[in-house]
A = this chain, B = another copy of it.
Amino acid sequence: MSHFVDELATENNTKIVFLVLDGLGGLPVKGKKGTELQVARTPNLDSLAAESVCGLMDPILPGVTPGSGPAHFALFGYDPVEANIGRGVLEAAGINLPLTDRDVAIRINFATRDAQGNITDRRAGRIATEINQRVCEKIRRNVSLKPDADIILETVKEHRAALLIRGDALGGDIDDTDPQKLGVPPLEPVANTPGSEKTVALVKKFLDQAHKAIADEPNANTVLLRGFAKHKPYRSMYERYKLKSLAIANYPMYRGVAFLLNMDLHPVTRDTASEFQAVKEKYDEYDYFFVHVKGTDARGEDGDFDAKVKVIEEVDTLLPALTDLNPDVMVVTADHSTPAAMSGHSWHPVPVLLKSDICRPDLVTRFDEISCIQGGLSRMPSMQLMPIILANANRLQKFGA
């Protein structure tokens, strides 16, 4: 489907502000009158909803609880099942390592092992990021896979790092070497398919050299390799939709997804107010503004209903900073639900509102999961939203005669 819509996409000078309140969808809990969104006082979101077409969206498929990666791909109109990527690629993208189609991406956990080679700490005592940087530098200086491959190694934080093995015809179908328990040595890397055997040979060479290089480290004296993934580049937001896109997001995961779609990344900002301010500052330079608010998800994960309500109310108070720009299309939605009642992601569909001068408003006058059931968008997969946004921005040509 996506390919067919892409061919209709056309340039225009219209502006789209796409506000994602991470994990916004919720559930009622005892003693509260409804979900987090229902309980929150949200006069700005409600009056926006009254002028919008509203609905509910399933991030992946009904009943499927998504991770943040696929849930965001769906919001950008990419098939979340097809676009689903290994953790290695997400980790590398999260620190904006420039990935190529010759790369196998791998997450590294630095770990501690004893004289017998058995793991005693799977996170190397959560070493400081500065130590991680020093250890990575040691490896970079002492490890080489030339002429078969290059390695790109970068610190993420604490005990985590990202590794790219870059070479020709390298498969990524390799299981983790993390045994997920203590008192045993790391697992040997094993190729699940013949196409990954060359990579496994290179990984073994990497491990031999890296272990020698960091043998004298008190904590980080071994590495566990996880989330092997061959990188397949995505068609960018510009290639697909002709949208010059800016991502305003403060967490590596979301910056990573935006990076993979070749959006420009705004520098990390202090808070939601600064994020909204960034839209205003960059308003003339871009067509599409992806604005990501993390607090709703974080407080949901904490299981803190009241705190999540408070984040929603803060966003509502700040909302005029975006709506006063009067974008041609204003969207507020979520990647997935994170009900405080569940302290984690869930499959529940997420509310969405879309306002434009030509959106055909419905009868919904309150932005919450229950009111939006009555909306004109009805219920649909999240990945169907992007064509509707483009249509409302007058950026899709007619199909057929």
Residues of A within 8 A of B (CB): 1, 4-5, 8, 27-28, 35, 56, 60-71, 80-81, 84-85, 87, 90, 227, 339, 341-342, 345-349, 358, 360-363, 369-370, 373-380, 384-392, 396-401
Contacts and interface: CB of A to CB of B under 8 A. Distances in A.
Contacts of A387: 61-64, 347
Contact of A347 (B370, B380, B388): B388
A18 to B, nearest CB: 14
Given A358-B341, A373-B375, A388 B63 contact: yes
B63 A360 contact: no
Interface on chain A toward B: helix, strand, loop, or mixed SS? loop
Contact of A396 (B71, B90, B347): B347
Nearest to A67: B400
A361 B28 contact: yes
Given A361-B28, A380-B379, A90 B373 contact: no
A398 B66 contact: yes
B62 A380 contact: yes
A300 to B, nearest CB: 13
B358 A27 contact: yes
Given A67-B399, A369-B376, 7 more contacts: A62-B380, A63-B396, A69-B400, A80-B399, A84-B400, A90-B401, A362-B370
9 contacts: A4-B81, A28-B361, A61-B384, A61-B387, A63-B388, A69-B401, A80-B400, A84-B400, A347-B388
A396 B348 CA distance: 13
Given A373-B374, A391-B347, A399 B64 contact: yes
Of A35, A64, A391, which is in contact with the most chain B CB atoms at under 10 Å from its CB? A64
A63 B386 CA distance: 8
Nearest to A386: B63
A286 to B, nearest CB: 21
Nearest to A344: B398
A53 to B, nearest CB: 9
Contacts of A374: 373-374
Contacts of A4: 61, 81
Given A375-B373, A398-B67, A5 B388 contact: no
Interface centre among A1, A56, A373, A380 (most CB of B within 10 A): A373
A392 B62 CA distance: 11
Contacts of A341: 358
Given A373-B375, A378-B378, A401 B360 contact: no
A399 to B, nearest CB: 5
Contacts of A370: 362-363, 376
A346 B56 CA distance: 22
Contact of A62 (B373, B384, B400): B384
Nearest to A77: B63
Given A362-B373, A373-B376, A398 B27 contact: no
A246 to B, nearest CB: 22
Contacts of A375: 373
A67 B401 CA distance: 4
Given A361-B28, A369-B360, A396 B5 contact: no
A71 B400 CA distance: 9
Contact of A27 (B342, B360, B380, B399): B360
